[in-house]
Amino acid sequence: MKVALQELRKIKGIGEVLARRFVEAGYDTHGKIAAAGEEALKAIRGLNPRAIPSIISQAADLADEAGKARARRVEELKAAAATLKGQVEEIARGVRDRLADELQGKRGRKIERELLKMVSALERVEGKIGKRVKRAGKGLAKAEARLAGLAEQGAKGVGKGLKKARKSLKRVLS
Amino acid sequence: MTITARTPLWGAAPVLLAVRTDDFFRCWRKVLKTFDPEDIHDLRVSSRRLREGCALFAPLYSDGLSRVIRRVRKVTRLLGALRNIDEALLFFRELGAELPEPCGEGLNALTGRLEALRQGELRRLAEGLEKLDVGESRAVIARAGAKPVLFPRPGLAVDPFTPIGSFAVTALHGRLADLAALVPAARHEGAVAAQHALRIAVKHCRYRIEMLSFLMADGAGEILAAMKSYQECLGTMHDLDVFADMVRREGLSPDVECVILNAIAERRGERFARFTALLGEHPFELIGEQVRRML
């Protein structure tokens, strides 16, 4: 509610009181106001009918801007997910080259499992980015931080680091 | 997910197999709802595509995806009999309308028997699909496909870090070489077995190209169209051979049998002429060259 009120107050001509009345009437986003039409908005108490066209036009502009910004962010996050996948591939390559002796037994299979789970988690996150922009942004940033430096770690560190990085994506997928 | 020619095999294989798996189970669920002949055909094709995907990436998996291949093959086989009956029904109904009496009467008896058979096959299919359990099958196949080997192990035939681009070159070269080797024998009109072997090889090769076509610079549309023409042409020739056998076993009067077999032979002759023309228009060596250039 608080966020919706703040957003509506970005429109010139809508103050604290009117914003509350808009929200109470079900118009809690710029998009909904832009789509409502003049007649529907006339029902809101205290709204000057002469201000309605300007409010609708501002709401349409703001909704359009928000949509574009969101689309840009989604693209950025998709690129970030792809970069992280590349990073995981590099870690796998590094592990294979540096720790060949340790990869034959149980430890090797464990790292293998973690690497595959991480890639699979990133793929699932990619699929959710469009719907969960904020969560995906936070999750990917955390995962990136946790993956950084893993290329130089020992086998145990790589396994643990991958698990932590994967867990940071959990909230995006839940 | 974006896969490029440089994506390592272990990263690309599970994704490409997942695409085929999703399609296979989408078709399976559709068949369970409708049991429509077209949906049955789509599921059969989808099962073959998935099997080709498994065969392609098998060297990357510790068990060679053998359990997955076995399970999917069961579905393909389960659908085969019904599909063959549907094809035969369609063909003999059309032929019955074209040929003079008393051929129509003989063919009516044959189609009537096929329809009765179809009912039995439909029941068998429904029971068989239920027994295979779509949910469990999906879990088994998805789990197996998501677990390629990453780090070298004894007996692993391929390096999991090979870029998918170079892997594709080798994989397609193998299939295309198989095709070229089968052509000389299939050029003889009576070489039914050789033509059948070529048909199967074309099918495998087409599905493999389809799966790896995203790596081809200019798209593989033209190549795939040529492969489809081959497959359809050789497929019709094979179907006509099967239909001729059915007519011979039906015990029709010699006159009627002769007219029907002649009509079938005429159609087969036309198809064989088309096949020969295709070999001239789109020789497999040229297709191989185009594929190599595009990768």
- CB-defined contacts A:B, below 8 A: 42
Q: Which two tokens stand for residue A78?
A: 């998709």
| In a domain? residue B155 | no
Q: Where are the alpha helices (DSSP H) in chain B?
A: 9-34, 37-57, 66-98, 103-132, 134-145, 164-186, 192-212, 221-249, 254-281, 284-294
pLDDT single digits (tens) B171-213: 998 888 888 899 999 999 999 999 999 999 999 999 999 999 9
Q: Is the dihedral of CA A40, A46, A47, A48 positive or negative?
A: positive
Top residue of A90, A107, A116 to mutate, by most chain B CBs within 10 Å, is A116
Mean pLDDT confidence for B255-275: 93
| In a domain? residue B247 | yes
The answer, yes or no, to whether residue B143 has pLDDT greater than 90, is yes
Count of domains for chain B: 2
Residue A21 C-alpha, separation from nearest chain B C-alpha, in angstroms: 44
Unique residue bearing structure tokens 């003049």: A38
Asked if the Cβ–Cβ distance from B11 to A85 is below 8 Å, we say yes
Separation CA A6–CA A4 (nearest Å): 5
Mean pLDDT confidence for B44-56: 96
| In a domain? residue B81 | yes
Asked if the Cβ–Cβ distance from A112 to B14 is below 8 Å, we say no
| In a domain? residue B11 | yes
Looking at residue B126, what is its pLDDT? 93
Mean pLDDT confidence for B277-282: 94
| In a domain? residue B1 | no
Which among B1, B148, B152 has the least Cβ separation from residue A126?
B1
ipTM > 0.85 (yes/no): no
Q: Is the peptide bond before B102 cis (omega within 30 degrees of 0)?
A: yes
Same domain, B139 and B171: no
Helix, coil or strand: residue B163 = strand
Residues B44, B84 contacting (CB under 8 angstroms):
no
A112: chain B residues, CB-CB within 8 Å: 149-151
A125: chain B residues, CB-CB within 8 Å: none
Looking at residue B107, what is its pLDDT? 87
Looking at residue B256, what is its pLDDT? 85
Which among B15, B148, B151 has the least Cβ separation from residue A103?
B151
The answer, yes or no, to whether residue B69 has pLDDT greater than 90, is yes
Residues listed for chain A:
174
Residue type, B36: D
Asked if the Cβ–Cβ distance from A116 to B14 is below 8 Å, we say yes
Same domain, B17 and B137: yes
Same domain, B78 and B108: yes
Looking at residue A72, what is its pLDDT? 92
Which among B8, B151, B152 has the least Cβ separation from residue A89?
B8
Q: Is the dihedral of CA A105, A106, A110, A113 positive or negative?
A: positive
Asked if the Cβ–Cβ distance from A89 to B150 is below 8 Å, we say no
Domain that holds residue B185: 164-290
SS (H, E, C) chain A: CHHHHHHHCCCCCCCHHHHHHHHHCCCCCHHHHHHHCHHHHCCCCCCCHHHHHHHHHHHHHHHHHHHHHHHHHHHHHHHHHHHHHHHHHHHHHHHHHHCHHHHCCHHHHHHHHHHHHHHHHHHHHHHHCCCCHHHHHHHHHHHHHHHCCHHHCCHHHHHHHHHHHHHCCHHHHC
Q: Is B8 on the interface with A (CB under 8 A)?
A: yes
Q: What is the average pLDDT value for chain B, to the nearest integer?
A: 91
Q: Which two tokens stand for residue B279?
A: 């070999």
Separation CA B214–CA A9 (nearest Å): 49
pLDDT single digits (tens) A16-37: 999 999 999 999 999 999 999 8
Q: Which two tokens stand for residue A161?
A: 């680091």
A82: chain B residues, CB-CB within 8 Å: 2
Pick from A100-104, A141-145, B23-27, B88-92: least confident: A100-104
Same domain, B27 and B67: yes
A89: chain B residues, CB-CB within 8 Å: 7-8, 11
| In a domain? residue B295 | no
Same domain, B89 and B190: no
Which among A92, A104, A123 has the least Cβ separation from residue B150?
A92
Q: How many Cβ atoms are within 10 Å of B32's Cβ, its own excluded?
A: 14
Interface of B with A in 147-176 (CB under 8 A): 147-153, 161
Angle at A109 between CA A106 and CA A111, to 5 degrees: 110
Domain ranges of chain A: 2-47, 68-173
Asked if the Cβ–Cβ distance from B152 to A96 is below 8 Å, we say yes
| In a domain? residue B83 | yes
Looking at residue B1, what is its pLDDT? 62
Residues B50, B21 contacting (CB under 8 angstroms):
yes
Same domain, B180 and B97: no
Establish how many alpha carbons lie within 13 A of residue B118's alpha carbon, considering only the half-sphere containing its beta carbon: 18
pLDDT single digits (tens) B93-133: 999 888 887 788 888 888 999 999 999 999 999 999 999 99
Which among A82, A85, A115 has the least Cβ separation from residue B150?
A115
Top residue of B9, B151, B162 to mutate, by most chain A CBs within 10 Å, is B151
Give the residue on A whose Cα is nearest the Cα of B3: A82
Same domain, B27 and B70: yes
Q: How confident is the model at residue B253 (pLDDT cuts 50, 70, 90)?
A: confident
Same domain, B227 and B254: yes
Q: How confident is the model at residue B219 (pLDDT cuts 50, 70, 90)?
A: low
Asked if the Cβ–Cβ distance from A116 to B150 is below 8 Å, we say yes
Q: Is A108 on the interface with B (CB under 8 A)?
A: yes
One of 1.25.40, 1.10.150, 3.40.50, 3.30.1360 is the CATH number of A2-47, namely 1.10.150
Q: Is B33 on the interface with A (CB under 8 A)?
A: no
Q: Is A112 on the interface with B (CB under 8 A)?
A: yes
Q: Which two tokens stand for residue A28?
A: 């809690």
pTM: 0.81
Return per-residue pLDDT of chain A as tens, 174 residues. Answer: 778 888 899 999 999 999 999 999 999 999 999 999 888 999 999 989 899 999 999 999 999 998 898 999 999 999 999 999 999 999 999 988 888 877 777 888 889 999 999 999 998 898 888 888 889 999 999 999 999 988 788 888 898 999 999 999 988 888
The answer, yes or no, to whether residue B257 has pLDDT greater than 70, is yes
Which 8-state DSSP code applies to residue B5?
T
Q: Which two tokens stand for residue A67?
A: 């949509």
Q: Is A83 on the interface with B (CB under 8 A)?
A: no
Q: How confident is the model at residue B70 (pLDDT cuts 50, 70, 90)?
A: very high
Closest CA to B71 of B23, B122, B15, B131: B131
Residue B19 C-alpha, separation from nearest chain A C-alpha, in angstroms: 13
Of B148, B175, B191, the last residue of a domain is B148
Q: What distance separates the 2 farthest-apart alpha carbons in chain B?
A: 69
| In a domain? residue B158 | no
Looking at residue B198, what is its pLDDT? 96
